[in-house]
Amino acid sequence: MQLEVRTNTPFWLVLFAPLFAMIVALSLCSVLIIWADAPVFTAYGALLNGGLGSRFAIMETLSRSIPLIFTGLAVAVAFRSKFYNIGCEGQLYCGALAAVYIGSGMITLPPIAMIPLLMLCGVIAGGLLLIVPVLLKTHLKVDEVVTTLLLNFIVLLMVSYLIEGPMKDPASLGWPQTASIIDEGVFPPLFEKSRVHLGLIFALIAAVITWIVMRFTTFGYASRAVGLNLQASNFFGIPVNMTIIKVSLISGGLAGLAGVSEVAGLKGYLTLDLSPGFGYTGIVVAMLAQLNPIGVVISAFFISVVYVGADSMSRVLNIPAYLADVIVGVSVLCVLVSVMFTQYRLRFK
C-alpha cells in the first residue's frame, strides 16, 4: 500500500473532503458519548436541535459564527502563505481593547463614523500585535508559531492588568471589566429579539473581499506563491518579505475585527472571558474550509452549530460540553487526512 500523486482531482472530492472529515470526526467522538452512557443518535440529535432546531438556536448559532468567520479568515489568509499565525486569540483581544479604549467615551461620533472608526482601530491593533512575530520571522527566521502562541498569554495578562487597573470601570462594583462602549459605537442587532448583530454583515463582506483579493489580484498570487515555494517566489521577483508582512497585517487585522465585533456587537464591555478560544477555533474553521474565504463562512457556521448545540446537549443528556472542543480538535486532524486524499490516492498492490 502506498500513496500516489493524483494527476487530477475531481471537483466533488474537493467539495466533499471536509464533509467526510466531519462525518469521521463525529463518528470517532461517538465513542466518547457511549463512554458517557448516552445514546449516540439521541445525543447528536440533541446537538443538531440545540444548534439549528429553533429560531433562537439559529440566532445563537449565527451570532456565534461572527467571530469565527473573522478568525477563520485571519487564519486562512496567513496559512495560505505558510505564515502560521496561531495568535488570533491575542489579536482578538487587542482589537477588542482598542475598540473599548476609543469607544467608551473618548470620542463621540455619529454611528455612521463611529462604527468604522472602531473597526479601523481594531484592525490596526490586531495587525500591530503581529509586527513583532513577523519581523522576527522575516529577519531572524524565528519560528512564528511559538512567538504568536506566547503572545496570546502576554496579551491576556495585559488585558487582565488593564481591566483590573487603568481601564477598570468604576461603576462595575468591583468586577474586573472595562466601561461599556457608548451607544453610537454599538453594532445594532439585525433581527428583533436576537443577538445577531451588524457584525455578521461585516463578516460576510470581509469574506467576499478576502476571496476577491486572494483569487484575482497579483497580491493574492504572490501570497500563494510565497506559501507554496519561497525560493521560486523570490526568483520570480516577488518581494517575499514584504508579502509576508502584508499578509500578517491583514491576518492580524481580521482577528482584531473579531474582537471589535464581540465587544461592540455582543458584550458591550471587555472582560477576560470575551473569547472562549475563538482564535484557536479559527484554525479549525480555516482548515475545514481548506483555506478558502467563502468556505470559511460555511465552516464557521458549521462549527458554531457544534458549539451552540453541544451546550444544550450537555444540559439535556449530561454529557460534558467539552465534547464540542473534542469534536473540533478531532476534525482538524480528520480534515488534514481528507485533504491529503484530494492530492494523493492510495495504491494497493
Q: Does position 147 bind another protein by CB under 8 A? A: yes
Q: Does position 320 bind another protein by CB under 8 A? A: yes
Q: Does position 151 bind another protein by CB under 8 A? A: yes
Q: Which stretch binds another protein (CB under 8 A): 48-56, 264-272, 295-303, 321-329?
A: 321-329
24/339 Cα distance (integer angstroms): 13
* DSSP, residue by residue, 130-173: HHHHHHHHHHH---HHHHHHHHHHHHHHHHHHHHHTTTB-GGGT
Minimum CB separation of residue 282 from another protein in Å reads 11
Q: Does position 145 bind another protein by CB under 8 A? A: yes
Q: Which stretch binds another protein (CB under 8 A): 42-50, 112-120, 156-164, 192-200?
A: 156-164
Cα dihedral 306/307/309/311 (nearest 10): 150
Q: For residues 95-134, which are near another protein according to CB under 8 A?
A: 132
Given candidates 78, 94, 130, 149, which one binds another protein under the rule CB under 8 A? 149
Collapsed DSSP state (helix, strand, coil) of residue 40:
helix
Given candidates 12, 110, 112, 140, which one binds another protein under the rule CB under 8 A? 140
Distances (CA, A) of 216 to 136, 223, 288, 293: 30, 12, 22, 13
Q: Does position 232 bind another protein by CB under 8 A? A: yes
Which cell is 228 given?
507554496
Q: In what helix (H) or strand (E) does residue 4 lie, and over which residues does it extend?
A: strand 2-5
Q: How many residues bind another protein (CB under 8 A)?
A: 70
- CB-count exposure of residue 231 (10 Å: 0-12, 13-18, 19+): exposed
The residues pairing with 197 across neighbouring beta strands, listed in sequence order, are 189
Which cell is 69 given?
468567520
Given candidates 158, 190, 204, 316, which one binds another protein under the rule CB under 8 A? 158
- Residues in the site for another protein, rule: CB under 8 A? 2-5, 7, 32, 35-36, 79, 84, 86, 132, 136, 140-143, 145-147, 149-151, 153-154, 157-158, 160-161, 164-165, 216-219, 221-222, 224-225, 228-229, 231-239, 280, 283-284, 287, 318-320, 322-323, 325-326, 328-330, 332-333, 336-337, 340, 349
